[in-house]
Amino acid sequence: IGEPAERMKGLPTQFFANLVRKANTQVDKGRDVINLGQGNPDQPTPAHIVASMQEASSNPLYHRYPPFSGFAFLKEAIANRYQEDYGVELDPEKEVAILFGGKTGLIEISQCLLNPGDTCLVPDPGYPDYWSGVALAGAKMSLMPLTADNAFLPDYSAISPAVAGEAKLMFLNYPNNPTGAVAGPEFYKETVAFAAKHDIAVASDFAYGALGFDGQRPISFLQTPGAKEVGVEFYTLSKSYNMAGWRVGFALGNEKIISLINLMQDHYYCSLFGGIQEAAATALNAPQDCVRELNATYQSRRDVLFAELDKIGWQANRPSGSFFCWLPVPGGYTSSSFADLLLEKADVVVAPGVGFGTHGEGYVRLGLLTSEERLAEAVQRIGRLNLFG
C-alpha cells in the first residue's frame, strides 16, 4: 500500500497498549508481577446481569440486526437511572445515544464537532483517548493544566480570551482519571457559564460517576442548570458494574450533539448485540446494591493502600473518587524512570504520569484493581527499595 492517510499520522500509539506490552515482558520471564497500571476492573460482572445476558442470547429477535440507535428499552433504562440517581430528566429518544463503551463516543464527538484546525480544550493530565479523537478530527488541542493547587480543576480564568474564542469543544472528567479528584456544583456552574459565553461544547466524561469515597457521591454535570444547552455527558457501565468487556456506554444530554453521534454510530455500528442491551438494561433497572458494594470495596482498598504508603513514608493525598491514586514520584526520578524502576526491581506496574500529559510529570498512577493483600504487597515491595523518608 502507499502512504497512510494524513489523519493517521497524528495518532499516537495507544498508551495502555504499550504499558501492557512492557509488563508482559516481565511476566514472560516468570516474574510475579502486580499490575496496578491499567484501569481494568478485576472483579466479575454481577451474576444477575450475566444471567440476563445468558437468557437473552437465545432470543431470535436479537440474532437479527438491532434497530439503528439501539433498543428503546435501554434508552429508557438509562434515562430512569439518571432520574433516580441525579434528578436529571432525559428524553430517551432525543437525549440518549447508546455507545460501544464510553470510548467510542469520546472519540466520535471530536469528529462530530471539530473541523481540521479547530481548537479543543483538553485537561492535562487527562485520559489519552481525548487526544486521539482530536487528532483523528485533524483539530488541535489547547491544554488546561490540572494542578494540586487548584484541586485538579481547570482554571478558566487562566485561559486567554483568544483561546477561549477559538475553542469549539472542551473535555472534562470528574471523578478524574488520573488524579482521583471530584468536582462540585460550583465548578460545574462556572463551566456552564464559561461554555455559554464562548460557545464551547462540553463533553463531561462521567466514567467514574459511581465511585466516590467517604460518603461523597459524585454529581453529574447534567444536574447543573443550563448543562444540556451546552453539552453532553458520557456514562459507561464498564466501571460501575464491572462490565468493561461488554462495551456499553451512553452519551446523554444536548439533543443536537446526540443526533450527530447517533448519525455517526448508524454508519459505523448500527448498534450493540440485543442480548447485551438487555443485560445492560437489567444492570440499570435492578436494585443498585452491587454498585454500592463495589464502591465500598474500592474505598476499603484505598484505605489499605494508604495505610501501607504511610508505613513506607510515601506521602500523598487520598483520591476522593474513581479507582486511581495519584502519587508523587520521589526526587531524582521522572515518572517514566520511576515506573521502569518499580517494574524491574519490585515487579509492580504503575502508569507514569507523563503518559497523561506534561502536567502528569512528577506523578505515577496506581489503580485499586487487585485485592487488598496484593495492594499491600505491592507497597511493601516498593518499600524495600528504600526510596522514601
Strand order in the sheet with 351-352: 324-328, 363-367, 351-352
If you search the block for the grid coordinates 496484593, which residue do you land on? Answer: 374
Binding residue for ligand PLP, selected from 46, 70, 102, 275, defined by CB under 6 A: 102
Binding mask 314-343 for ligand PLP (x = CB under 6 A): ------------------------------
Are 371 and 328 in contact, with CB atoms under 8 Å apart?
A: no
Binding mask 206-245 for ligand PLP (x = CB under 6 A): -x----------------------------x-x-----x-
- Closest contact distance (angstroms) between CB of 239 and ligand PLP is 7
Q: Does 97 bind ligand PLP (CB under 6 A)?
A: no
- By CB under 6 A, the count of residues binding ligand PLP is 14
Q: State the burial class of residue 190 (Cβ atoms within 10 Å of its Cβ: 0-12, 13-18, 19+).
A: middle
Binding residue for ligand PLP, selected from 69, 142, 173, 335, defined by CB under 6 A: 173
- Closest contact distance (angstroms) between CB of 101 and ligand PLP is 3
Do β-strands 96-99 and 249-253 pair in parallel, antiparallel, or remain unpaired? antiparallel
Q: What DSSP state is assigned to residue 143? A: E
- Closest contact distance (angstroms) between CB of 369 and ligand PLP is 11
- The residues, ordered by sequence, that sit 6+ positions from 323 with a Cβ below 8 Å of its Cβ are 39, 41, 208, 211, 239, 298, 301, 367, 368, 369
Query: Which range touches ligand PLP (CB under 6 A), out of 41-49, 95-103, 180-188, 344-352?
Result: 95-103
Are 375 and 301 in contact, with CB atoms under 8 Å apart?
A: yes
Nearer Cβ to ligand PLP (249/275): 249
Q: Does 74 bind ligand PLP (CB under 6 A)?
A: no
Q: Does 39 bind ligand PLP (CB under 6 A)?
A: yes
Q: Is the peptide bond before 175 cis (omega within 30 degrees of 0)?
A: yes
Nearer Cβ to ligand PLP (198/247): 247
Q: How far apart are CA 356 and CA 333, in angstroms?
A: 17
Nearer Cβ to ligand PLP (86/127): 127
Q: Does 203 bind ligand PLP (CB under 6 A)?
A: no
- Closest contact distance (angstroms) between CB of 15 and ligand PLP is 11
Q: How many CB atoms lie within 10 A of CB 154?
A: 26
Binding residue for ligand PLP, selected from 95, 108, 124, 205, defined by CB under 6 A: 205
Query: Which range touches ligand PLP (CB under 6 A), out of 102-110, 213-221, 352-360, 380-388?
Result: 102-110
Which residues on neighbouring strands pair with residue 344, listed in sequence order? none
Do β-strands 167-173 and 119-124 pair in parallel, antiparallel, or remain unpaired? parallel
- The residues, ordered by sequence, that sit 6+ positions from 62 with a Cβ below 8 Å of its Cβ are 56, 273, 274, 275, 278
- Closest contact distance (angstroms) between CB of 2 and ligand PLP is 32
Are 288 and 84 in contact, with CB atoms under 8 Å apart?
A: no
Are 266 and 68 in contact, with CB atoms under 8 Å apart?
A: yes
- Closest contact distance (angstroms) between CB of 207 and ligand PLP is 4
In the structure grid, which three cell numbers stand for residue 309, read together?
Answer: 504508603
Nearer Cβ to ligand PLP (339/341): 339
Which residues on neighbouring strands pair with residue 251, listed in sequence order? 97, 234
Q: How many CB atoms lie within 10 A of CB 111?
A: 18
Binding residue for ligand PLP, selected from 41, 66, 70, 101, defined by CB under 6 A: 101
Nearer Cβ to ligand PLP (108/308): 108
- Closest contact distance (angstroms) between CB of 348 and ligand PLP is 20
- Closest contact distance (angstroms) between CB of 110 and ligand PLP is 14
Q: Does 127 bind ligand PLP (CB under 6 A)?
A: yes
Binding residue for ligand PLP, selected from 35, 177, 240, 262, defined by CB under 6 A: 177
- Closest contact distance (angstroms) between CB of 237 and ligand PLP is 7
Are 31 and 342 in contact, with CB atoms under 8 Å apart?
A: no
Are 268 and 282 in contact, with CB atoms under 8 Å apart?
A: no
List phi, psi (to 5°) of 86. Answer: -125, -5
Name the site residues for ligand PLP (rule: CB under 6 A).
Answer: 39, 101-103, 106, 127, 173, 177, 205, 207, 236, 238, 244, 249
